[in-house]
Amino acid sequence: RAKSDGRGTFRFFEADMDARMKARRSLELDLRRALALKEFTLAYQPQIDLATNAVTGFEALIRWEHPERGMVQPADFIPLTEEIGIITPIGEWVLRTACKEAAGWSKPVSIAVNLSPVQFRSPKLVEIVMSALARSGLEPSRLELEITEGALLANTESVLATLTTLRALGVRISMDDFGTGYSSLSYLRKFPFDKIKIDRSFVSGMVDNEDCGAIVRAVASLGASLGIKTTAEGVETTEQLAAIQAEGCGEVQGFLTGRPMPAAMAAALLSDSSTL
């Protein structure tokens, strides 16, 4: 009968919800322990200058090596850390570790660190960046902070104040995943960026879709006229690389030119390469 069917469905849904809540709570507990247990590491992905073919820097990407879950990708835990308010200490660890590791490299290439919008809004951000620089001895000009459009949605004055203070320290600011949010063009005019990272979705569409090529070309030329560097994210094939180069993009970062790698491999790559 309809009534019992409804009840059955409801019970089933309730059990499903309960299981999901439990899974989430267990992930949350594990995350809270992960920092103390040193389960996070950083992978470094090279960025290549297309004019010289040299490695100009690396982006630090967090990895979580959970004893039972195995390797957990950032997309599967960063949103929860933002929600439960522990992205700030985790982000602080990322910043300190990336600065420390990069300070030991044999070449003064740049190190890019992702900032969550939550971290970007934290009143402690500037202090944390200053302290990471001071403790590591990293030259501020080598540090690049990547923010997404989500960080810019807050009050314009406070965003501008934070960006201005950070740049006064000598660090650079990159706009990450460019083109995936909205009103990107007005942000470029309003806020001081040193680099635009063109989102992977445009790069992967370039070879088959004329619109993607047109967008990459437009962003590259906009960057050139505004004096902002452009990096194409997620370049996987030689066809995409050729297309990116033809559109005037200055730099690439993708599986074709280098996967995210452990710190020791990044250091070795720099020592081995004769360029720069």
Enter the tokens of residue 221: 């030329």
Asked if 36 interacts with ligand C2E (CB under 6 A), we say: no
Least Å from the CB of residue 164 to ligand C2E: 21
Enter the tokens of residue 130: 């200053």
Angstrom distance (rounded) from CA 82 to CA 195: 25
Q: Are 239 and 19 in contact (CB under 8 A)?
A: no
Q: Which of 78, 125, 216, 249 is the binder for ligand C2E (CB under 6 A)?
A: 78
Question: Which among Mg ion, ligand C2E, none contacts residue 78 (Cβ within 5 to 8 A by kind)?
Answer: ligand C2E
Question: Which among Mg ion, ligand C2E, none contacts residue 260 (Cβ within 5 to 8 A by kind)?
Answer: ligand C2E
Asked if 262 interacts with ligand C2E (CB under 6 A), we say: no
Part in contact with ligand C2E (CB under 6 A); list of ranges 13-21, 67-75, 122-130, 157-165: 67-75
Asked if 74 interacts with ligand C2E (CB under 6 A), we say: yes
In 26-152, at which residue ranges do the beta strands (DSSP E only) sit? 40-49, 55-66, 70-72, 110-114, 143-147
Angle between helices 238-246 and 210-226 (to 10 degrees): 50
Asked if 57 interacts with ligand C2E (CB under 6 A), we say: no
Q: Which of 82, 101, 144, 177 is the binder for Mg ion (CB under 5 A)?
A: 177
Q: Which of 92, 144, 176, 251 is the binder for Mg ion (CB under 5 A)?
A: 176
Asked if 114 interacts with Mg ion (CB under 5 A), we say: yes
Nearest CB to Mg ion, comparing residues 30 and 176: 176
Q: Which amino acid is at 149?
A: E
Asked if 152 interacts with ligand C2E (CB under 6 A), we say: no
Q: With the CA atoms of 132, 196, 236 and 257 taken in that order, what torsion angle do they form, in degrees rounded to the nearest 10?
A: -50
Enter the tokens of residue 233: 């994210």
Asked if 144 interacts with Mg ion (CB under 5 A), we say: no
Burial string for 71-97 (b: 16+ CB within 10 Å, else e) reads ebeeeebbeebbeeebbbebbbbbbbb
- Residues of the shown chain interacting with ligand C2E in the complex, contacts defined by CB under 6 A: 45, 61-62, 73-75, 78, 91, 94, 114, 116, 146, 176-177, 200, 233-236, 254-255, 260
